[in-house]
Structures are given as structure tokens and as C-alpha cells.
């Protein structure tokens, strides 16, 4: 999914995106494709499952808190636990577990894949909510459809202890 298509699809529902600026990349090295996507489209200011993107989502991270080998990562957001979401030098999206010494957990292979997964996840939740019997637990057929989508998009994200595999277990 390209940047313009994602931005249009996300904002069509009335939701907002945070568009990154050239200043956001001053001290981090990320692939040109990631930088283009983040400046052209951005990422949702808020998205299920309990994710937020933009500078304000990382205000709590103290200067120098990240281990030195992660200092080149670009912070792009945080999860519901306050763990930073970053892009590493290869453009891989990671969550850094602040309770575990900022140990990285895999999210997606790149920012474009993350954006597409967030969009599909939002659609999945909306579809489930249309069911009059929806009680907050997603039907197995929808969980399986989302897992199949992720398996084709980025199979690694379904490995144990990765964000999306954990989210599927909780649904």
C-alpha cells in the first residue's frame, strides 16, 4: 500500500494521522522508503490495538534511556503500556519493552506493512461491531481472516512473542 492510499483510507473514517517532518529524521538513519511514507502519509495519531504515533506519544522516555545500540532507532510512537515503537536502521518496526531493559520485540518488516495491518485491523473491529451479538470478543472466523492476511503480508509477525501474535491470542 502506498503512502497516499493509506492516508486517504485512514482519514476517510474521520481519523487523523501524524505526518512526520524532516526534523524527525535528523539523528536517525532509516531507509528512504520509510522516510517517504512517514512524511507523505504519516501514521495514525491513535490506532487499535492501543497504539499512538507522533512525538507526543514518546514524551515520557527519558533522554539516554535507550541502550546505546538502539540510539540510531527512530521513535515513531508507543503502545498502551508506554513501550516505544521504533524503526531500526533497516526500517523494521519494533516495540522496545521498557520493563525488560528495552528489549526489542518485532512488529512488522517495515512501516508500510504496519500501516496496512493497522488499516485492516480497524476494518476487522468495525466489521465485528456491526454484529448485534458483538460482546467485545471477535468471532473465530474474523480472527482467522486477520491471521491469514498477516501471514501473507508479513509471516514473521505471527511468531511467538511478537506484537501481532500476542494480539491475536487476546482477541
pTM of the model: 0.90
Over its length of 171 residues, how does the chain's per-residue pLDDT go in tens digits?
Answer: 899 999 999 999 789 999 998 888 877 788 999 999 999 999 999 999 999 998 755 555 566 666 666 667 888 999 988 888 999 989 999 998 888 777 889 999 999 999 999 999 999 888 887 875 666 677 788 889 999 999 999 999 999 999 999 888 887
Alpha-helical segments (H) within 23-137: 32-40, 111-129
Cβ atoms 10, 20 nearer than 8 A: no
Amino acid at each position: 500500500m502506498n503512502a497516499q492510499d493509506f492516508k486517504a483510507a485512514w482519514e476517510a473514517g474521520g481519523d487523523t494521522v501524524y505526518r512526520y517532518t524532516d526534523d524527525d529524521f535528523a539523528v536517525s538513519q532509516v531507509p528512504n522508503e520509510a522516510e517517504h511514507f512517514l512524511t507523505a502519509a504519516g501514521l495514525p495519531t491513535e490506532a487499535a490495538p492501543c497504539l499512538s504515533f507522533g512525538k507526543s506519544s514518546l514524551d515520557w522516555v527519558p533522554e539516554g534511556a535507550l541502550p546505546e545500540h538502539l540510539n540510531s532507532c527512530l521513535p515513531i510512537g508507543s503502545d498502551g503500556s508506554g513501550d516505544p515503537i521504533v524503526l531500526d536502521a533497516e526500517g523494521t518496526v519494533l516495540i522496545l519493552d521498557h520493563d525488560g531493559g528495552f528489549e526489542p520485540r518485532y512488529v512488522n518488516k517495515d512501516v508500510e506493512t504496519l500501516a496496512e495491518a493497522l488499516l485492516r485491523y480497524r476494518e476487522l473491529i468495525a466489521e465485528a461491531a456491526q454484529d448485534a451479538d458483538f460482546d467485545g470478543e471477535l468471532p473465530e472466523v474474523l480472527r482467522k481472516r486477520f491471521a491469514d492476511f498477516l501471514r501473507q503480508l508479513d509471516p514473521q509477525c505471527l511468531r511467538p512473542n511478537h506484537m501481532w501474535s500476542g494480539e491475536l491470542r487476546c482477541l
